[in-house]
Amino acid sequence: MFDKGLLTLTDIKKTMRGLVGLYILQAFLIVGQAVSLGLVITHLWSGKPLKEQFIYIIGFIISFAGREGLQWWSNRWLDDYARVEAKKLRKTLLEKVFILGPELVQKQGTGHMVTLTLDGISEVEDYIQLTLSKMISMMIVPIVVLAMAFYLDWVSGVILFFIYPLIVLFMIILGYAAKAKADKQFVSFQRLSNHFIDSLRGIDTLKYFGLSKRYANSIYKTSERFRKTTMSVLRVAIL
C-alpha cells in the first residue's frame, strides 16, 4: 500500500521525476526485447535461416543490456535516497524520544521503541525503495506496452485494455486484505516485543521466585501466536 507520507520526504518530487524518465526508457527497451525475440522466434519457426536473424538477436541483446543497466542505475539511486531518508527519520525519532523522555517509552513500551528504532527504520528504508520503484514502473510500463500492442495488433491491444483493469483490481483487493491483516499483526508484534524485553529485564527476579520456566512457556505461546498470524498475512500477501 502507498503511504502518502512518502510525499513529504525531502526531494521526493525530484526523485520521482528522475525515476519516471528512467522507467519510460526501460519500458521502450522492454518492448524492444519483446519485438526482437518475437521476430526471431517467428522467423525461425517459418523456416528462415538463422543468419538472417542476426540483426534481431543483436537488437534483443542491446535491449536486454540497456534494460538491466537502467534497472541497476535506478536501484542504486533509490538505495542511496532511501538510506539518506532513513537516517533522517531515525535521527528525528531519537530526538523525539529524548525530548518526551520516559513518558513516551512507558506509553509505547520499551520493546516496541527498541524495535521501532532498530528494525522499524530499516523496514521503512526498504519500503521507500520498493514502493517508489514498483509504483512508478506499474504506472508507466503497462501503458507503453499497451500502446505498442495497439500499434502492432489492435485485437491484442483491446484484449489487454480489458485485462489490465482486472489485474489492477485484483491487486488492490489483495493489498487491502493484506493491510488489514498486517494492522492486526502489528498489535501482536508490539505486545510480543514488550513482553520479551520486560522478561529480559526481570529475568533475575523470575529466577529468584522460581518462575523462569513458567514465563518461558508464556513467551513461547505468545511467539507461536505471532508466528501463526504472520503466516496468515503472508498467505494473502504473496498471492
For residues 159 and 148, state if they share a domain.
no
**Per-residue pLDDT, 90:** 81
Q: Residue 170 burial (CB < 10 Å; 0-12/13-18/19+)?
A: exposed
For residues 84 and 50, state if they share a domain.
yes
For residues 76 and 5, state if they share a domain.
yes
For residues 70 and 159, state if they share a domain.
no
Give the pLDDT confidence of 75-105 residue by residue, as tens digits: 888 888 888 888 888 888 777 777 776 776 6
Domain count, the chain: 2
For residues 195 and 211, state if they share a domain.
yes
For residues 55 and 119, state if they share a domain.
yes
Q: Is residue 62 very low, low, confident or very high in pLDDT (cuts 50, 70, 90)?
A: very high
For residues 121 and 29, state if they share a domain.
yes
For residues 145 and 167, state if they share a domain.
no
**Per-residue pLDDT, 29:** 92
pLDDT surpassing 80 at residue 121: no
Cβ–Cβ under 8 Å, residues 123 and 182:
no
Give the pLDDT confidence of 179-229 residue by residue, as tens digits: 776 666 666 666 666 666 666 666 666 666 666 666 667 667 767 776 777
Query: Which cell is 185 given?
Result: 499483526
**Per-residue pLDDT, 69:** 92
**Per-residue pLDDT, 12:** 82
**Per-residue pLDDT, 64:** 92
Q: Is residue 65 very low, low, confident or very high in pLDDT (cuts 50, 70, 90)?
A: very high
For residues 141 and 207, state if they share a domain.
no
Q: Using CA atoms, how far apart are residues 53 and 37, in angstroms rounded to an integer?
A: 10
Closest CA to 117 of 47, 193, 51, 52: 193
Q: Which of 129, 152, 175 is the last residue of a domain?
A: 152
Q: Which of 108, 131, 152 is the last residue of a domain?
A: 152
Q: Using CA atoms, how far apart are residues 233 and 175, in angstroms rounded to an integer?
A: 11
**Per-residue pLDDT, 124:** 79
**222 Cβ neighbours under 8 A, 6+ residues apart:** 191, 192, 195
For residues 137 and 213, state if they share a domain.
no
**Per-residue pLDDT, 213:** 66
Give the pLDDT confidence of 21-60 residue by residue, as tens digits: 899 999 999 999 988 988 888 888 888 888 888 898 999 9
Q: Is residue 15 very low, low, confident or very high in pLDDT (cuts 50, 70, 90)?
A: confident
For residues 35 and 120, state if they share a domain.
yes
Residues 4-10: contacts with CB under 8 Å, at least 24 apart: 6/128, 6/131, 6/132, 9/85, 9/128, 10/85, 10/88
For residues 21 and 113, state if they share a domain.
yes
Query: Which cell is 219 given?
Result: 513467551
Q: Which of 152, 178, 204 is the last residue of a domain?
A: 152
pTM attached to this predicted model: 0.67
Angle between helices 54-100 and 121-152 (to 10 degrees): 150
Q: What is the DSSP letter of 100?
A: H
Cβ–Cβ under 8 Å, residues 178 and 233:
yes
Q: Using CA atoms, how far apart are residues 15 and 112, in angstroms rounded to an integer?
A: 32
CA separation, residue 45 to residues 33, 36, 54, 156 (Å) = 18, 14, 15, 21
Domain of residue 234: give its range.
155-239
Give the pLDDT confidence of 136-191 residue by residue, as tens digits: 888 888 888 888 888 888 888 888 888 888 887 887 787 777 777 666 666 666 66
Cβ–Cβ under 8 Å, residues 85 and 126:
no
